[in-house]
Structure 1
Amino acid sequence: MTELAERMHRTFFRMMSLLSPRGQGVFLRRYFDWWHRTPDPWRLGSDAYERHKYAMTLEAVPRLPYRRILEVGCAEGVFTDTLARRFPDAEIVGIDISTRALERARQRTEKARFVHADLLSHPLEERFDLVFCAETLYYVGRSGRLRQASRRLAGLLAEGGVLVLVHPWPEAASLHRFADADRSLSPVTDRVDTGTHRPFAVTVYRKA
């Protein structure tokens, strides 16, 4: 996607966040189900850039014991399956707004549990030791919704839990700003990879 196309893409989703939370959720479900009418529309399972990003993300994770791990916006479960292999003793959960994506995620791995959920209105009452949210927050839209999404991500963490956010750079600085300002979260590391065609940041926090 060109820089201009990506800007138009972001502007479109900011406009969609003018809808009510329910309306925005309905739109996003239909949007991602449409994309997932064919398998792996973004080539998450085969693209070298994605594999590099996954590797850098995992390198940034503190070496701690993790019993329960959540991936927010898991799509077809490519990274979820990687997590299940990397942390074989942990309970792995993936959530996504697309039912079509989750059907393929369940076929990809039986080592994880998948839940149809919207980040802004998820029903999860569980708490996790490690939460990943990558390439997702720019779909949330305006500042009010982004603040709500960041609060919900922090709320999913158990005491001492780790939150990992991964988004394009320099846009990540804006997308991660509410997590940066959350007093319940302490920054652990912030790595920026500018050596790819699409720079990205991996930002890690720990719940105090």
Structure 2
Amino acid sequence: MGSQGKTVFRRSPVTRFPDILHRALFKSFSLLGRRSQGAVLRRYFDWWHRRPDPWQLSTDTYEQHKYQTTLEQLPDAAYRRVLEAGCSEGVFTELLATAYPDADITGVDISEKALERARLRNGEFADRVRFVHADILDHDLQAGFDLVVCAETLYYVGGGDRLRHASHRLTSLLAAGGILVLVHPWPEARRLHRFADAAPGLSKIGERVERDAHRPFSVSLYRAARESRTVS
């Protein structure tokens, strides 16, 4: 697997009206206090996962293409500790566990219902894959991950200070030289990834923009500085 350090431009993206409504709903949640927002999101996503695989992550060809594109961009490395933030039911977690058989992997999600299914899906990897019920805005995970992946998640936290805080929390989990991967709809990714773009001690090493999908997306890659650093 190798990182491609250039942006690939194809057709122009089309903003879908359901996506606009979706963003507006979660923007309104971000007006609440951080704890209240977290409580609302937990209830919402537990309700959303009342039925298995509500986004059809395991079967949808678009989602499978996005997963494969993300894996193809990862730099070749022996990742020992991997974190997936917003893992949902563990579909991509399973792909990570298969691609990196020597890695210890942690999946994090705000929905316990989703995590119950993630544990079942990844049962064969139970000796090295664990799932943690937590909010990326408020967690007690220990730093030192060689790879941190966050896909289709940052638009749920809101904008401004909330987005800055979430980006910094993700960045602070990296080991020296670790890789952060952010995957979000394009061109919204420009806004969602802007704090990672500007983070001290973090260098952008690649970006792939898929414009030929019915829902264009960006895979952005960052590398933490080799020396120790502090991220606020």
Give the TM interval when normalised to the shorter protein: over 0.9
Q: Work out the CA distance in 2 between the residues paired with 1:101 and 1:15.
A: 23
**Greater share of residues in helix:** 1
One-letter amino acid matched to 1:37: R
* Offset of residue 126 of structure 1: 3.5
Q: Secondary structure at the match of 1:153?
A: helix
1:72 aligns with 2:89: no
> Which runs of 5 or more residues in structure 2 are unaligned?
1-14, 226-232
Task: State the 1:143 CA deviation.
Answer: 1.1
- The answer to whether the 8 A contact 2:209-2:219 is kept is yes
For residues 221 and 76 of structure 2, what CA distance do their matches in structure 1 show? 12
Q: CA RMSD in A?
A: 0.8
Tell whether 2:158 aligns with 1:119. no
Q: What is the TM-score of this pair, normalised by structure 2?
A: 0.88
Letter in 2 for 1:114: F
Match of 1:55 among 68, 76, 79: 68
- For 2:117 and 2:198, how far apart are their aligned partners in 1? 36
- The one-letter amino acid paired with 1:175 is L
1:23 aligned to 2:36? yes
Question: SS of the residue aligned with 1:167?
Answer: strand
Alignment of 1:97-176 (within 5 A): 97-110=110-123, 111=125, 112-176=129-193
Verify: 1:88 aligned to 2:105, yes or no.
no
Residue 97 of structure 2 contacts residue 105 of structure 2 at CA under 8 Å; is this kept in 1?
yes
Q: Distance in 1 between matches of 2:59 and 2:36?
A: 33
Partner AA of 2:223 in structure 1: R
Write the distance in 2 (CA, Å) between the matches of 1:121 and 1:109. 25
- Give, in whole Å, the separation in 1 of the partners of 2:143 and 2:162: 22
Stretches (4+) displaced over 3 A: none
Structure 1: gaps spanning 5 or more residues? none
Q: How far apart, in 1, do the equivalents of 2:164 and 2:114 lie? A: 26
Deviation at 1:155, TM superposition (A): 0.4
Corresponding residue of 2:58? 45
Partner SS state of residue 201, structure 1: strand
Describe the superposition over 1:90-121 as per-residue Cα deviations: whole angstroms up to 9, x where unpaired.
Answer: 10110000000000000001321000000000
Amino acid at match of 1:149: A
Q: Deviations over 1:116-175 (max 9, x none)?
A: 000000111242000000000000112110000000000010000000000000000000
Mapped partners of 2:131, 2:115: distance in 1? 7
TM-score of the pair, normalised by structure 1: 0.98
SS at match of 1:162: strand
The structure with the largest alpha-carbon Rg is 2
Conservation of the 8 A alpha-carbon contact between 2:143 and 2:172: no
User: Aligned partner of 1:182: which letter?
Assistant: A
Paired with 1:126 and 1:192, the residues of 2 have a C-alpha distance of: 29
Q: Indicate the residue corresponding to 1:195 in structure 2.
A: 212
